Amino acid sequence: MKYIDEYRDPELAQKYAAAIAKVVTRPWTIMEVCGGQTHAIVRFGIQELLPDTVELVHGPGCPVCVTPLEMVDKAIEIAMRDEVIFCSFGDMLRVPGSEKDLLTVRAEGGDVRTVYTPLDTLKIATDNPDKQVVFFAIGFETTAPANAMAVHRAKEKGLGNFSVLASHVLVPPAIEAILSSPDNRVQGFLAAGHVCAVMGTAAYTPLAEKYQVPIVVTGFEPLDILQGIYRCLCQLEEGRSHVENQYQRAVRDIGNVSAQAFIRKVFRVVERKWRGIGEIPESGWALSDAYADFDAERRFGLADIEVEEAQNCISGLVLQGLKKPADCPAFGKQCTPDQPLGATMVSGEGACAAYYRYRKDKLYE
């Protein structure tokens, strides 16, 4: 298939693996930020092609995983209402809230629907004027433009029965939170290509300079990731710390300017709680005042819900790269994709689920 097979060429992959082995002289720890990259790394067995001295740790870039428990509980509370049609991206439905998940709400009679784009929910709202239609607007900078567009169109059309439960998160503050932690082990980053396709690369330069870490904007196919790792390792070995763009076929340094303008119009920057990690300042987007009428939290008058996360779940440490999934005593035992304790076991992009499905660490014992 064009534009895919070129980036999965086994011979080129082996060449990159050899080049990586050649350039590495000592142990390095690199974090791939995005869940899509984690998924590709385990799905294609990329770690197996790397020298033992290169460790990949899986960052907090799975939006499903980091959406705070309170937000999932709020989604469930809204979805349980008779007058509501609750719409969400598919893999959010299985994320455990405090007591249940959205699939359970559906089984109990709630009208919970999977959509492929938030714009579909506008049609649902138009077709069901007697219902309140709510979209669970989660995701990183990548999903924000379409979510912003949906809210904007709803306002233009005067769709009074549409609202969004917005819980957007941002990559650069998360990277800074990891780098500024006294426990940090990460020496170089593969930044999330699609986030940068929207936002550009400028936000990463101050991080690379301040913390002296190389950051390589990287794509999602196996050869993208191998090339990203190679470039990151070259910088580390040479003592450089710059922002590089491996994913030039999709990412311009300035990003997608019109999408950014839309996002600025519809959203405002807020402090955001990340599941398993905690509050990170200026790390999320909520609806701006001009669009506050479309805020589902406001419309349904949801009080702040404070929730404790499972004690024996180490997903927060996994998301920060401090622990590997298999370090968790519950991994594969009390916690499996069928009975997840934490969100990293839920999404296919979550590090724990990815390890469980594709590795189980059996092959590496």
Partner 1 sequence: MSELNISNMTCPLPLNDHPRIKMAHGGGGRMMQRLIEELFFAAFDNPALRSGHDGAVLELPEGRPVMTTDSYVVRPLFFPGGDIGALAVHGTVNDLAMCGARPLYLSASFILEEGLETETLWRVVQSMRAAASATGVQIVTGDTKVVERGHGDGIYINTTGVGVIENETQIRPGRIKKDDLIIVSGDIGRHGMAVMGAREELAFTPPIESDCAPLWNTVADMLDAEIDIHCLRDATRGGLCAVLNELAQSSGLQFDVVENDIPLAANVRGACEVLGLDALQVACEGRFVAIVPKSDAARALEMMRVQNDSAAVIGRVTDGEAGLVTLQTPIGGRRILDMPAGELLPRIC
Nearest to partner 1 of 214, 342 (CB atom): 342
Q: Of 64 and 213, which CB lies nearer to partner 1 in the complex structure?
A: 64
Widest CA span of the chain, in angstroms?
66
Q: Which residues bind partner 1 (CB under 8 A)?
A: 1, 4, 8-10, 13-14, 36, 39, 42-49, 63-64, 89-94, 103, 114, 116, 138-140, 142-143, 194, 222-223, 337-338, 347-349, 356-360, 362-363
**In the complex, minimum distance from the CB of residue 83 to partner 1, in angstroms, rounded to a whole number:** 18
| Least Å from the CB of residue 180 to partner 1 | 27
Instruction: Give CA–CA dist 286/303, Å, rounded.
Output: 16
- 64 vs 236, which CB is nearer to partner 1? 64
Which helix (H) or strand (E) segment holds residue 190: the answer is strand 188-192
Cα separation of 326 and 330, whole Å? 9
Q: Which is nearer to partner 1, 39 or 58 (CB)?
A: 39
**How many angstroms separate the CA atoms of 104 and 100, rounded?**
6
**For residues 8 and 155, which CB has a smaller minimum distance to partner 1 in the complex?**
8
Q: How far is CA 111 from CA 86, 106, 165, in A?
A: 6, 6, 16
**Least distance in angstroms from the C-beta of 314 to partner 1:** 21
Contacts of 258 (CB under 8 A, 6+ apart): none
Strand pairing class (267-274; 278-287): antiparallel
Alpha carbons 170 and 256: distance in angstroms, whole number: 16
Residues near 276 by beta carbon (within 8 Å), at least 6 away in sequence: 65, 66, 309, 313, 315, 316, 317, 318, 319, 342, 343, 344
What does the angle CA 45 – CA 141 – CA 263 come to, to the nearest 5 degrees? 165
Q: Tell the smallest beta-carbon distance from residue 142 to partner 1 (Å).
A: 5
Of the two residues 89 and 204, which places its CB atom closer to partner 1 in the complex?
Answer: 89
Contacts of 210 (CB under 8 A, 6+ apart): 179
- Minimum distance of partner 1 from residue 12's CB (angstroms): 8
> Judged by CB, which is closer to partner 1: 92, or 164?
92
Closest separation between CB of residue 281 and partner 1, Å?
25
Spatial distance between the Cα atoms of 187 and 211, rounded to a whole number of angstroms = 9
In the complex, minimum distance from the CB of residue 339 to partner 1, in angstroms, rounded to a whole number: 10
Tell the smallest beta-carbon distance from residue 49 to partner 1 (Å): 6
Please, which residues bridge with residue 267 across strands? 287
Judged by beta carbon, residue 10 or residue 301, the one nearer partner 1 is: 10
